[in-house]
Amino acid sequence: MSTIIAVTNQKGGVGKTTSSSALLAALHDKDFRVLGIDLDPQGSLGFCLGLDIENCFTIYDVLKGNKTAAEVIVPTDCGDILPSNILLSGAELEFNRPGREFLLKQHLADLRDNYDFIIIDTPPALNVLTVNAYVVADSLIIPMAPEILSLLGVAQIRETIDTVRRCYNSRLKVLGILLNKFNPRLNLNQEVLEMSEQIAQQLGTRVFESKIRASVSVAEAPAHGESVLTYAPRSKPAADFQALVDEILEQETAPDTGA
């Protein structure tokens, strides 16, 4: 059965989609069977990997019950993708029946054995889509930029995580906080690192040793329909994401001590 990781932060612009696409590419490069799910109505994950998100079936059709997940999946060079587009923006109003928190989990039930890893790119909001991701996920990765407002977004996630653990998914864990656009030579970056380590302790997790360094290649890659790993495989961010995946794999395969 697959390991499901949701990449989440209610703050926008922190690198959720960049991180999701890079994780997919790095895991796919290691011969893992991977599926990316875009739960953001902006459709950035599919767009960044070269899909025509306005002219294909999407996760919206799956959640509505019009299509099965298997019918909507699109293959890419970085693995399979369940894309999204602006139609998903009405989810909060449309999916209002009891049990709506379990919609994604129900539709993925028949797919989990087909993949080693499923990566979910969540919207920049703590809404029904984000809760659906938390309910089905085994673990969370919380990317953040080295900015004070980004820290605030991370701190506010805790209440949602606690609610999901209490009501829907007691096994949900936080793998770690991921610092994007990181420059260790800047004082603000070091200050944010120290504060993020404090927040990580509150969440019962840690800040990943791997920090993703800033590079123009990260911004250029989506315009070419690629992840940064396939667009600029020798760039510093590509190396950082490869190191991050190694760190995640080591963490995921480590024996559970019950601590």
CA distances from 80 to 83, 117, 182 (A): 9, 11, 29
Mean pLDDT, range 114-123, rounded to an integer: 97
Average pLDDT, the chain: 91
Please report, as a single letter, which amino acid is at residue 187: N
Tell me the pLDDT tens digit for each residue of 150-193.
777 777 788 899 999 999 999 999 999 999 999 888 888 888 88
| Positive/negative CA dihedral, 124, 127, 129, 130 | positive
Residues in the chain: 259
Q: What is the pLDDT of residue 67?
A: 95
Is the model more confident about 195 or about 27?
27
**Cβ-contact 116, 3 below 8 angstroms:** yes
Q: What is the pLDDT of residue 259?
A: 40
Tell me the pLDDT tens digit for each residue of 225-243.
899 999 999 999 999 999 9
Tell me the pLDDT tens digit for each residue of 14-68.
899 999 999 999 999 999 999 999 999 999 999 999 999 999 999 999 999 999 9
Over 50: is that where the pLDDT of 122 sits?
yes
Q: What is the pLDDT of residue 35?
A: 98
Q: Give CA torsion, residues 156, 161, 162, 166, to 10 deg.
A: 150
**Cβ-contact 181, 145 below 8 angstroms:** yes
Tell me the pLDDT tens digit for each residue of 126-141.
899 999 999 999 999 9
pTM, entire model: 0.93
